[in-house]
Structure 1
């Protein structure tokens, strides 16, 4: 049985217990998980979808990890799951799955799947139904994503480390934004800082420069920076897959009064929004503090994006760059709970600001710690 480099066996045992309780409520005998975030959270290991793979969790009996033979060794090293059925790259994994279920007496079971999983195509589901004609496949929804919302102390520790790495990486990247330098210099420095300080070797996040107002998710450019440019830096450092995030704008030269005012208004409104992030708070009401404030200040004509989303575990090879399991928007009726971690972000008037916020029993805690406002390189 493998050992995870960070989490203890008790961490995974607690996760499995919570998961099985949800599966019992859903009325299934076994559940299959094929999104990399779900597999990693359950087992400690996840791999890309070059070949389909899944974690099987029976209510009775031992879990299994179905995976291509090439990846079985590292799977066994990282995962606590001991049963790892494999297939060769050119073989169909579905018959191996069917055999694993038959060996457990589950060939005619009620099998739970997340019908919105990006890992299961229509063709894959039909193949499973054909291979297991006595089974009944039911939708259990995004069970693991829901369970992941409340972070354990061990998970919060990783997010704290990622936030500290991000603080230093953004400070160094911002310092590199000077006339004649390039956006690539900032990206290179940020990513090198991630690795130097113990983070994952992962992309740094969106870094782009411009002079207008709406270039937050632009592309990395090659033009030399010049006085008057604004470099938007959003860093997404990760430690063992756990990501904290922050963004700032770096102004080369004296910031325009309009941009300076926008940054100050955003910081004040976001401070109020963060202060409201307490257990029991209604997400839509917390969202309105920033959204309505920005519109009332005339910084935007409309506010069409969310103002916060879930942070936590991200897979190495997943298609989602952000986790929208919980988001702040006008119709969000869900309530905040202690242990949630959110990326709160605001942009308007040529300024942008974001933080990683942990909701605790006594209120919000900023995990990121850079000065809040424009970063100015005069």
Structure 2
């Protein structure tokens, strides 16, 4: 059995027990997972989809991790799953999977999948049905994503460490945002800080410079910075895939009074929003504090994006940069629970602020701790 570098075996045993309880309630005999986040959360290991791979969890029989032969060794090192059937890169993995399921008596089983999985194409589903014609494939939805919403103490510890990295990396990146510097230099400093402080060598997050009022989520540029520029920095460090996030704006020179006012209003509204993030709070009510407040203050005519989303585990090679399993928006009727972690973010009037927030039994806890204001390089 493999040994994970951070989580103890009991962590995975608890996850497996929670998952099997949900699977039993859904009426399936086994479930197949091929999104990297789900595979990693269940097994301790995930790989890219260059070749299709999956984890299968039967209710009764032993689980299996189907993977290309090239990746089998590291899979066995990291995962508690001991049955790792393999295939060569030029071979079709589906017959190998079908044989493994037949060996477990699952050739005629009810098998659950997430029909919205980015890992299962229409062609893949057809191949599965062709290889197992007597099996029944049913939709169990994003079951693992739902289970992942409530973080364990070990997961929360990783998110705390990632938040500390985010704070320090943003502080250091901001110091090189000076006339003659570049966004690329800020990105380099941020990523160096990630690795130096024990984070994963992953991309730093959006870093964008401009002079207008609406340039968040832009592209990294090489033009030298100059007085009057504003650099938007949103950093997304990870430790073993677990990411906390923080966002600030750096002003080169004297900030405009309007931008200062917008930042103060956003900070006050977001403070109120965070204070309302208590167990049992209705998500749409938490969202409305910021959304409606920004519009009432005249900072935006409309607020078309969400104001927060869940944080947690991100796959090294997944297509999603954010986890929208739960998002704060008008009409969000779910309630906050202890153990949830969110990235709450606000932008208007040429300013932007964000924090990583843990919901505890007694209320919200900020994981990120930078000053909640514009960062000014005069």
TM-score (norm: length of structure 2): 1.00
Query: Counterpart of 1:56?
Result: 56
Query: Counterpart of 1:204?
Result: 204
Query: Counterpart of 1:194?
Result: 194
What secondary structure sits across from 2:31 in the alignment?
strand
Query: Counterpart of 2:174?
Result: 174
What secondary structure sits across from 2:321 in the alignment?
coil
> Partners in 2 of 1:176 and 1:28 — Cα distance?
55
Superimposed CA distance per residue, residues 132-175 of structure 1 (whole angstroms, 9 cap, x where no aligned partner): 00000000000000000000000000000000011100000001
> Partners in 2 of 1:198 and 1:29 — Cα distance?
41
> Partners in 2 of 1:372 and 1:30 — Cα distance?
48
> Partners in 1 of 2:242 and 2:40 — Cα distance?
11
> Partners in 1 of 2:355 and 2:302 — Cα distance?
22
What secondary structure sits across from 1:353 in the alignment?
strand
How is 1:22-61 mapped onto 2 (pairs within 5 angstroms)?
22-61=22-61
Query: Counterpart of 2:105?
Result: 105
> Partners in 1 of 2:210 and 2:84 — Cα distance?
50
Query: Counterpart of 1:154?
Result: 154
What secondary structure sits across from 2:293 in the alignment?
helix
TM-fit CA distance, 1:57: 0.0
1:121 maps to 2:132: no
> Partners in 2 of 1:62 and 1:281 — Cα distance?
40
Query: Counterpart of 1:143?
Result: 143
Superimposed CA distance per residue, residues 222-243 of structure 1 (whole angstroms, 9 cap, x where no aligned partner): 1100010000000000000000
Give unmatched runs, 5+ long, in structure 2: none
Query: Counterpart of 2:94?
Result: 94
How is 1:260-279 mapped onto 2 (pairs within 5 angstroms)?
260-279=260-279
> Partners in 1 of 2:98 and 2:213 — Cα distance?
54
What secondary structure sits across from 1:359 in the alignment?
strand
Query: Counterpart of 1:7?
Result: 7
Q: Give the RMSD, CA atoms, in angstroms.
A: 0.3
> Partners in 1 of 2:68 and 2:178 — Cα distance?
48
What secondary structure sits across from 1:97 in the alignment?
helix
TM-fit CA distance, 1:61: 1.7
TM-fit CA distance, 1:373: 1.0
Give unmatched runs, 5+ long, in structure 1: none
Superimposed CA distance per residue, residues 13-48 of structure 1 (whole angstroms, 9 cap, x where no aligned partner): 000000000000110000000000000000000000
> Partners in 2 of 1:23 and 1:96 — Cα distance?
24
How is 1:272-291 mapped onto 2 (pairs within 5 angstroms)?
272-291=272-291
Query: Counterpart of 1:226?
Result: 226
> Partners in 1 of 2:19 and 2:46 — Cα distance?
17
What secondary structure sits across from 2:263 in the alignment?
helix
Query: Counterpart of 1:353?
Result: 353
What secondary structure sits across from 1:281 in the alignment?
coil
Tell me how many residue pairs correspond in the alignment.
378
TM-fit CA distance, 1:62: 1.1
What secondary structure sits across from 2:224 in the alignment?
coil
> Partners in 2 of 1:343 and 1:315 — Cα distance?
17
What secondary structure sits across from 1:313 in the alignment?
coil
Give 4+ residue runs of structure 1 displaced > 3 Å after superposition. Answer: none
What secondary structure sits across from 2:22 in the alignment?
helix
Query: Counterpart of 1:339?
Result: 339
> Partners in 2 of 1:323 and 1:270 — Cα distance?
20
TM-score (norm: length of structure 1): 1.00
TM-fit CA distance, 1:265: 0.1
TM-fit CA distance, 1:3: 0.3
> Partners in 2 of 1:240 and 1:10 — Cα distance?
18
